[in-house]
Amino acid sequence: MTIRPILIHPEPKLRKKALPVTVVSDQLLTLADDMLETMYEAPGIGLAAPQVGALIRLIVLDCNHSEDQNLDAIQMFNPEVLFASDEKNTHEEGCLSIPDQYGEVERSSVVTVRWIDRAGIEEQRTFEGLWATCVQHEIDHLNGKLFIDYLTPLRRQLITRKMKKLKREKLQE
Ligand code: NI
């Protein structure tokens, strides 16, 4: 498996709508495995394909801190929210594409998601707690949306400015 470079905001690919997967090809399975590896290495609890430059509807997540990596990992192709509760929950969120920045985001506390698994089989599950937050955050990525979009414009501008500076510094390294 390969660790893939994670795109840092602001970046046009993070703002595009990703395309649905038609066939779960070997190439896509490799991408999904690489994404998990990249996520664990970062470390993070979720990663969406656009964050590694692939405009495909694919996300990976693992919100359990189990010692056995991959035990609770989920790879979702074409994830779709079927139900989102009116009841909300506020979590402090971060993003691997916006390193070291956090903000409180309100989202549905319970969501039911349908997706296609590695074998091409349709699956459906209801998530709550951190998993619910995480899966909604990752699906947002597939629609070009970032957690900072839920913050005040001022806070968003501040974070974006910091990220631009970070990217400039990285280029000079
Ligand atoms: Ni993110």
Q: For residues 72-99, give the mean pLDDT.
A: 97
Residues recognised as catalytic: 138
Measured in angstroms, how far is the CA atom of residue 71 from the centroid of ligand 1?
21
User: Model confidence over 14-34: pLDDT tens digits?
Assistant: 999 999 999 999 999 999 999
User: Model confidence over 123-138: pLDDT tens digits?
Assistant: 999 999 999 999 999 9
Q: Where do the structural domains in the chain lie, given as residue ranges?
A: 12-172
- 3-state secondary structure at position 118: coil
Q: What tokens were used for 167?
A: 């990217």
Measured in angstroms, how far is the CA atom of residue 100 from the centroid of ligand 1?
12
Residue 65 CA, distance from chain mean position: 17
Closest CA to 127 of 53, 51, 49, 72: 72
Measured in angstroms, how far is the CA atom of residue 97 from the centroid of ligand 1?
6
Q: Which residues contact 100 (CB under 8 A, 6 or more apart)?
A: 94
Q: What are phi and psi of 133, to 5 degrees?
A: -60, -50
Measured in angstroms, how far is the CA atom of residue 145 from the centroid of ligand 1?
9
What CATH superfamily classification does 12-172 receive?
Peptide deformylase (3.90.45.10)
